Amino acid sequence: FFFQAEDGIRDHCVTGVQTCALPIYSTIGGNYLFAEKVTLSSAADLYTMGFIARSINTAAFRMGLCSDSAGAPGTLLGYTAAFTPTANTEVDITSAPVALSAGTYWMVWINSANAYGYYSSSCSTVTTYYKAYTYAALPSTWPSGASSLTGQCHNIYVGLR
């Protein structure tokens, strides 16, 4: 099964979605929550989350999956424990595997320090939400007052069975 991002591509080497796989380098800001929408075409169980990084620092990182709430991130459904990334990181979901129906979800993440390098690309229809948020466990519901930008997508994915 694949999560298919709005402007993403499918990659036979990754179980899940890669929202973009073009090798453009960007940095992710520390102490911000990020969320990017994905669509699941059929029911599956969420087991892992991951991303492909270009540069590594000692930042702590967390990832999760939220429900959709009227076109924005909603309730946290599954999440990883805090981890220090390696170049290609895939982390098991700390909560039990999550049974998902076909539909819209939001991949969410936070890291503790600036200048964490990752691959991204320009994606004309992908919307990313972001909000300043002190690094901690992911919130159980997405906080109000987040900003959004369109045109930047990130090389993150979820593993499904």
125-34-29-136 Cα dihedral, nearest 10 degrees: 180
d(CA 82, CA 5) in angstroms, rounded, equals 24
Chain segment 25-76, per-residue pLDDT in tens:
455 568 889 898 888 889 999 888 877 666 566 678 898 999 999 999 999 9
Instruction: Count the alpha carbons within 13 Å of 125 in the hemisphere toward its beta carbon.
Output: 5
Provide DSSP, 109-125: EEESSS-EEEEEEEEEE
User: Is the pLDDT confidence value at 24 over 60?
Assistant: no
Question: Cα-atom radius of gyration of the chain, to the nearest Å?
Answer: 14
pLDDT, tens only, 89-143: 777 777 778 999 999 999 998 888 765 555 555 666 777 888 999 999 999 999 9
- 122, 26 contact by CB (below 8 A): no
- Per-residue model confidence (pLDDT) at position 9: 36
pLDDT at residue 4 tops 60? no
pLDDT recorded at residue 87: 66
Under DSSP, the state recorded for 83 is B
128 Cβ neighbours under 8 A, 6+ residues apart: 34, 35, 36, 148, 149, 150, 152, 153, 154
Rounded CA separation 46/123 (Å): 25
